[in-house]
Structure 1
């Protein structure tokens, strides 16, 4: 894997989905993983209402294999549930899981990607690296506990 490391940290700090997809190495895996993820349509319908009042922060590394695999899956769930992009905050980090000026220090990120779900400015729960079951089930568990 050392050949793949090209001394680039990728995107650091807040970014948009468009900025994320502007990176060829991220877009390539994104396109593949997004289309390959099979949604649970019943759970998507159940998620629509509770997600409509949520905000989500995704902390990811554009250099990270797990981010390239799981961020597209998570975003496909959000897209299918009609989640508003303005309620989504994407934050890129370096290999030390840091962003500039301590931007995410308060979030205590150990591994990426980390998907954090908020309601009324309160953290309801998080999915770290990969879902326990599926993203649909894990999000529903967080929003209904």
Structure 2
């Protein structure tokens, strides 16, 4: 009996602490979007794959630039804040994912958070991952090293994603759009 109770307690703890991925909201007018932590399966599911997969497949990263920063990039954790409702996120997010995969970036070091679109919840997530990070535009790609923010790309790169990533990981002077 003690073992059954222990097993049941462990299942309850796991169930409570498990993060829900790919939570979908549908508004009264039928607009669908994801909120909170999401993963590639969420972006590759309908209706999001309509924009994600095509842009991912058609993007060809600059292999020379990726090779330049590939090793250095492994030292970073990345948080991508996006809106599955946002044109800029739809344009840049598939490119970023393709670049990271080309660089053999460990995807467990990438956290993707989809932000809300609704009035009163605009650019927030259900579990508050954006709190304290000054997310004013999406997508926002934040680079962390040893738990501290190093820099970010906001809304769109200054040059190309590859060039901007290289500037950030090699600690060049880089001031993102909408610098805070």
TM-score (norm 1): 0.90
Bigger RCO of structures 1 and 2 (CA < 8 A, at least 6 apart): 1
Structure 2 unaligned blocks of 5 or more: 1-27, 172-180
- Tell me if 1:112 matches 2:138: yes
* Corresponding residue of 1:15: 38
2:47 partner SS: helix
**How do 1:85-104 residues align onto structure 2 when only pairs under 5 Å count?**
85-95=107-117, 96-104=122-130
* Corresponding residue of 2:102: 80
Contact kept? 1:13, 1:100, Cα under 8 Å: yes
Contact kept? 1:116, 1:123, Cα under 8 Å: yes
Contact kept? 2:113, 2:129, Cα under 8 Å: no
Alignment length (residue pairs): 140
Structure 1 unaligned blocks of 5 or more: none
Contact kept? 2:82, 2:113, Cα under 8 Å: yes
1:82 partner SS: coil
TM-score (norm 2): 0.73
User: Deviating runs (4+, > 6 A) in structure 1?
Assistant: none
Higher helix share: 1
Instruction: Kindly state the Cα deviation for residue 7 of structure 1 after the two structures are TM-superposed.
Output: 4.6
Instruction: Kindly state the Cα deviation for residue 104 of structure 1 after the two structures are TM-superposed.
Output: 1.2
Contact kept? 1:12, 1:99, Cα under 8 Å: yes
The whole-number CA distance in structure 1 between the counterparts of 2:29 and 2:102 is 34
